[in-house]
Amino acid sequence: MAFRGNLLVVLVLAASAIATGKSARLELVPAAPGASMAERAMDDRHRHTYITQKIASGRGGSRRVAAEVGASAVSLPVSSGAYAGTGQYFVKFLVGTPAQEFALVADTGSDLTWVKCNGAGGATPPGRVFRPADSKSWAPIPCSSDTCKLDVPFSLANCSAPTSPCAYDYRYKEGSAGARGVVGTDSATIALPDGKMVQMQDVVLGCSSTHDGQSFQAADGVISLGNSKISFASRAAARYGGSFSYCLVDHLAPRDATGYLAFGPGPAPKDSTPAAQTQLLLDPKMPFYGVKVEAIHVAGKALDIPAEVWDATKNGGTILDSGTTLTVLATPAYKAVVAALSTHLAGVPTVAFHPFEHCYNWTARRPGAPEIPKLAVQFAGSARLEPPAKSYVIDVKPGVKCIGVQEGESPGLSVIGNILQQEHLWEFDLKNRLVRFKQSTCTR
């Protein structure tokens, strides 16, 4: 299946606690609930549509063109966008020579890293902007190059002269968020665990003169963590041990709490609990990270969900996505999960809260009322994700909890969002096509 994905929680990029050796680290800060859960749910629906359409176009074999005529580790500081009213995680990113600092959305579904730019044509966007003319290491990528024609997502068909810069119109959803500009290469400055700074040369970078969408009002752009030849994650992982990892703190954690994103292996974990692992399903046409789900359990019982829901060859399947807040399940899986959870919570007073189907007045819950049952996601290879109850029966406002999953299409793609991933360390071993995960406090 073609798989290539935005985080609601704040991340701190750090060395992987699963592997051994040195690694590169980026810091991520947890987001506060600046955006309402209804707004985040709507953003998730837009994103799910975008991902589904992108995968469908990849299955058809079409190139994504716009319709218009070692062994050390590195780290970058990251903070949550929730304080700015968005549902993404931000990472501090230094680019250019001399280095210019930006706050970028960390996104496993993006294959192009881009920043708001001055000098790519069009009006200068508000806020911090990258000025390529001020960077000694900036080099435009020509539109006639293979990189532009084959690797840059949504590159424009126009190429008036072989040396003209490669242009793109990156749409995250038709009529919604997107960015437009030109592509080049530049250096990125990264901090090693010992505090030393190193430069990565020839990082593919989009210089966006125009952009739209709520996510980009507070952020300066996107750092690409998707599976792609030109993504920052793929290039950094290749240099620093073949893997990258992240750990998300509770999305409602205090503002000073941080998670992390790391490239390369890190120091041995403090606890000896082994990590679970399952195969990554990767497709070179897409940036998403696919996994094979075999079952979902509630209160120890496997739910009756048709196998084709998890079958990518039958237009189903599942991806892990840092850019989606709430987990989205194809209709048969959604109905089974919601029915099982709501049955166990039948004794708790209900309350309406858009857009969720099942919400509860937790302050009116009587002593002895049912507890939230355990939910587990079973992956291929006996890997089992057992998230804390707060990750699937979520707090939406003081005293109110809702079953925090959304219904997708059927047949259709299911997406494990960042709230369900929180308080776990996730290591994406791109070299061996494996993803490993284990519970973690996400503290350094």
CATH number at 151 reads 2.40.70.10
Residue 83 has pLDDT above 50, yes or no: no
Residue 90 neighbours by CB under 8 Å, 6+ apart: 10, 28, 29, 78, 79, 80, 81, 103, 104, 105, 106, 218, 219
Residue 131: other Cβ atoms inside 10 A: 14
Residue 133's pLDDT is 92
Is position 107 annotated as part of the catalytic site? yes
Q: Are residues 412 and 289 in the same domain?
A: yes
Higher-scoring residue by pLDDT: 272, 278 = 278
Q: Are residues 288 and 174 in the same domain?
A: no
Counting residues of the chain whose pLDDT is more than 90, the rounded percentage is: 47
Q: Are residues 251 and 296 in the same domain?
A: no
User: 256 is written with which tokens?
Assistant: 């000073």
Its pTM stands at: 0.84
- Residue 396 maps to a domain: yes
Distances, alpha carbon 249 to alpha carbons 31, 349, 372, 384, in Å: 9, 29, 21, 19
| SS3 (DSSP) at 218 | helix
Q: Are residues 245 and 137 in the same domain?
A: yes
Q: How does pLDDT run across 37-48, given as a tens digit for each residue?
A: 777 787 777 778
Q: Are residues 190 and 84 in the same domain?
A: yes
Helix (H) or strand (E) holding 139: strand 139-140
Q: Are residues 379 and 237 in the same domain?
A: no
Q: What whole-number distance in Å separates Cα of residue 8 and Cα of residue 323? A: 7
Q: What whole-number distance in Å separates Cα of residue 381 and Cα of residue 133? A: 51
Q: What whole-number distance in Å separates Cα of residue 331 and Cα of residue 417? A: 16
Residue 193's pLDDT is 60
Residue 66 has pLDDT above 50, yes or no: no
- Which strand ranges, in their side-by-side order, compose the sheet holding 318-320? 289-291, 318-320, 414-416, 327-330, 405-408
Over residues 95-102, the mean pLDDT reads: 92
Residue 36 neighbours by CB under 8 Å, 6+ apart: none
Q: pLDDT-derived band of residue 16, with 50, 70 and 90 as boundaries?
A: very low
- Residue 290 maps to a domain: yes
Cβ atoms of 14 and 91 within 8 Å: the answer is no
Question: Rounded to an integer, what is the distance from CA 346 to the centroid of its chain?
Answer: 34
User: 311 is written with which tokens?
Assistant: 């079958």
Cβ atoms of 60 and 77 within 8 Å: the answer is no
Residue 160 has pLDDT above 80, yes or no: yes
Q: What whole-number distance in Å separates Cα of residue 292 and Cα of residue 121? A: 44
The angle subtended at Cα 73 by Cα 135 and Cα 132, nearest 5°, is 10
Q: Are residues 100 and 125 in the same domain?
A: yes
Residue 355 neighbours by CB under 8 Å, 6+ apart: 38, 41, 42, 406
Top mean-pLDDT range of 67-71, 110-114, 214-218:
110-114
Weakest mean pLDDT among 156-160, 257-261, 276-280, 368-372 = 257-261
- Residue 17 maps to a domain: no
- Residue 6 maps to a domain: no
Beta strands in 264-368 (DSSP E): 276-279, 289-291, 293-298, 301-302, 318-320, 327-330, 359-361
Cβ atoms of 30 and 251 within 8 Å: the answer is yes
| SS3 (DSSP) at 315 | coil
Residue 67's pLDDT is 32
Is position 304 annotated as part of the catalytic site? no
Residue 285's pLDDT is 82
Q: Are residues 344 and 392 in the same domain?
A: yes
Q: pLDDT-derived band of residue 331, with 50, 70 and 90 as boundaries?
A: very high
Q: How does pLDDT run across 25-36, given as a tens digit for each residue?
A: 666 654 434 567
Domain end marker among 263, 291, 318: 263
Q: What whole-number distance in Å separates Cα of residue 119 and Cα of residue 96? A: 14
Residue 7's pLDDT is 31
Higher-scoring residue by pLDDT: 245, 58 = 245
What domain range is 115 assigned to? 74-263
Q: Which residues does residue 93 pair with via DSSP β-bridges, in sequence order?
A: 102
Q: pLDDT-derived band of residue 52, with 50, 70 and 90 as boundaries?
A: confident
Question: Longest C-alpha distance within the chain, in Å?
Answer: 74
Over residues 281-296, the mean pLDDT reads: 93
Domain end marker among 219, 234, 263: 263
Q: pLDDT-derived band of residue 369, with 50, 70 and 90 as boundaries?
A: confident
Q: Are residues 99 and 146 in the same domain?
A: yes
Catalytic residue among 151, 186, 220, 321: 321
Over residues 146-166, the mean pLDDT reads: 88
Catalytic residue among 43, 107, 111, 250: 107
Counting residues of the chain whose pLDDT is more than 70, the rounded percentage is: 76
User: 230 is written with which tokens?
Assistant: 């030109």
Residue 77's pLDDT is 39
Q: Are residues 155 and 235 in the same domain?
A: yes
Question: Rounded to an integer, what is the distance from CA 279 to the centroid of its chain?
Answer: 18
Cβ atoms of 153 and 170 within 8 Å: the answer is yes
Average pLDDT, the chain: 80
Q: How does pLDDT run across 400-437, given as a tens digit for each residue?
A: 999 999 999 999 999 999 899 999 999 999 999 999 99
Q: pLDDT-derived band of residue 335, with 50, 70 and 90 as boundaries?
A: very high
Total domain count, the chain = 2
Q: pLDDT-derived band of residue 55, with 50, 70 and 90 as boundaries?
A: confident
- Which strand ranges, in their side-by-side order, compose the sheet holding 301-302? 301-302, 293-298, 375-379, 384-385
- Residue 105 maps to a domain: yes
- Residue 19 maps to a domain: no
- Residue 65 maps to a domain: no
Cα(first)–Cα(last) distance of the chain, in Å? 35
Residue 198 has pLDDT above 70, yes or no: yes
| One-character DSSP codes across 119-132 | SSSSPPPSS--B-G
The angle subtended at Cα 322 by Cα 26 and Cα 361, nearest 5°, is 115
Q: Are residues 204 and 329 in the same domain?
A: no
Q: Are residues 280 and 254 in the same domain?
A: no
Domain end marker among 240, 263, 286: 263
- Residue 433 maps to a domain: yes
Residue 125's pLDDT is 53
Residue 349's pLDDT is 94
Residue 263 has pLDDT above 60, yes or no: yes
Higher-scoring residue by pLDDT: 226, 104 = 226
